[in-house]
Amino acid sequence: MKLYKSIQYLTLCIILAVFVMLFTGADALAKIRIVTSLPDFAAIAKEIGGNKVDVEALAKGYQDPHFVDAKPIYVTKLNRADVLIYNGLDLEIGWLPPLVTGARNSKIATLNASGNVDASSYIKTLLELPTTRIDRSMGDIHPRGNPHYLLDPRNGISVAGGIAARLSEIDPENASYYEENYKKFAETLKSKIEKWEAELARYRGTEIVTYHKLWSYFTEWAGLKVMGTIEPKPGIPPSPSHVADLIKDMEAEHVRLIIAANYYPEKTAKLIAEKAGTTFLSLPASVEGRNGIKTYSDLFDVIVSEIASALKEQTGAASDHLSHNGG
């Protein structure tokens, strides 16, 4: 009898072990595969999804997101994806749509598919929504609003919330996990935002010049004013007369800073900075835009600290200059 019982226990144990192995194995396999168009979304999705997801970005952080090569290998990646997170507002219109079509993947193929996440739908206020008639004589404008909303860190929280909600829909078993991660993400980011705002508070109202209309959301949040752009119109390279006018205006308005995403050509910007006596900053505009920027808040750590220190230097220099003149 004893032998019989112990055999019974043993088989039960084995069955249990097999079940446990099976289920853990299944769990390990069932990681949600997320593909994002830009590395910023990948960074946010990683923080929300934690160890329940595999995340991969298509574009590189040091790359202009308007002009990404539609490499066929991306089709293979999208084919295996459960979720596709993209910026929307036509930012990726030149390269993403044919890849999604080629992916033969019902989960992401259509706008209302479960895994098709247009992150712009989570943004409450879009900037530069055209209110009058538009056409392409205004440059390569985005008719549905400025798409660079991730450069306002508050929008990062909205996007994270949207991603958490969508992940909970797809994977309801781990909904509380995603919710918790989202709360953690939002809390840390909120406290960071306060810190960054404090850092930039002294410079509210300062006028700066940017290369492309990339920084609209950032300047809106940071309280900086964009006096002009080096590109006369979105996507149109600067002409000599525009550059000359810009330098004149910058001198008249005492503009102290020029910023540009580090994927734009630096030559013209540097020349203008030199002529107008201002500082030029080539900044990362995306996660992985520079080595060491791994998370969404890393990005703003770099941007805010560089802008603050550049403006500090400039104001310091300006006041020195003034006192020198006075003496």
Interacting residue ranges for other proteins, rule: CB under 8 A? 60, 62-64, 67, 69-73, 75-76, 79, 90, 93-98, 101-102, 104-107, 109-110, 121-122, 124, 129-132, 136, 139-140, 143-144, 161-162, 165, 235-237, 263-265
Sequence-ordered list of residues with C-beta below 8 angstroms from that of 34, at least 6 positions apart, any chain: 42, 45, 49, 53, 54, 55, 56, 81, 82, 83, 84, 85
150 or 200: CB nearest other proteins: 150
Residue pair 290/299 in contact (Cβ under 8 Å)? The answer is no
Sequence-ordered list of residues with C-beta below 8 angstroms from that of 142, at least 6 positions apart, any chain: 89, 90, 91, 128, 234
Q: How far is the CB of 161 from other proteins (least distance, A)?
A: 7
**Segment (H or E) for 324:** helix 296-326
Q: How far is the CB of 241 from other proteins (least distance, A)?
A: 16
66 or 256: CB nearest other proteins: 66
Residue pair 45/163 in contact (Cβ under 8 Å)? The answer is yes
CB atoms within 10 A of CB 87: 23
25 or 237: CB nearest other proteins: 237
**Residue 271 CA to its chain's centroid (Å):** 28
212 or 256: CB nearest other proteins: 212
Residue pair 212/264 in contact (Cβ under 8 Å)? The answer is yes
Q: How far are the Cα atoms of 12, 92, 263, 268 from residue 67, in angstroms, in the given order?
A: 59, 8, 11, 20
69 or 245: CB nearest other proteins: 69
Q: How far is the CB of 143 from other proteins (least distance, A)?
A: 7
Residue pair 167/83 in contact (Cβ under 8 Å)? The answer is yes
107 or 254: CB nearest other proteins: 107
88 or 206: CB nearest other proteins: 88
Q: Which two tokens stand for residue 212?
A: 């492309």
Q: How far is the CB of 239 from other proteins (least distance, A)?
A: 11
Q: How far is the CB of 134 from other proteins (least distance, A)?
A: 9
Q: How far is the CB of 282 from other proteins (least distance, A)?
A: 12
Q: How far is the CB of 102 from other proteins (least distance, A)?
A: 7
Q: How far are the Cα atoms of 151, 233, 261, 271 from residue 239, in angstroms, in the given order?
A: 27, 11, 19, 13
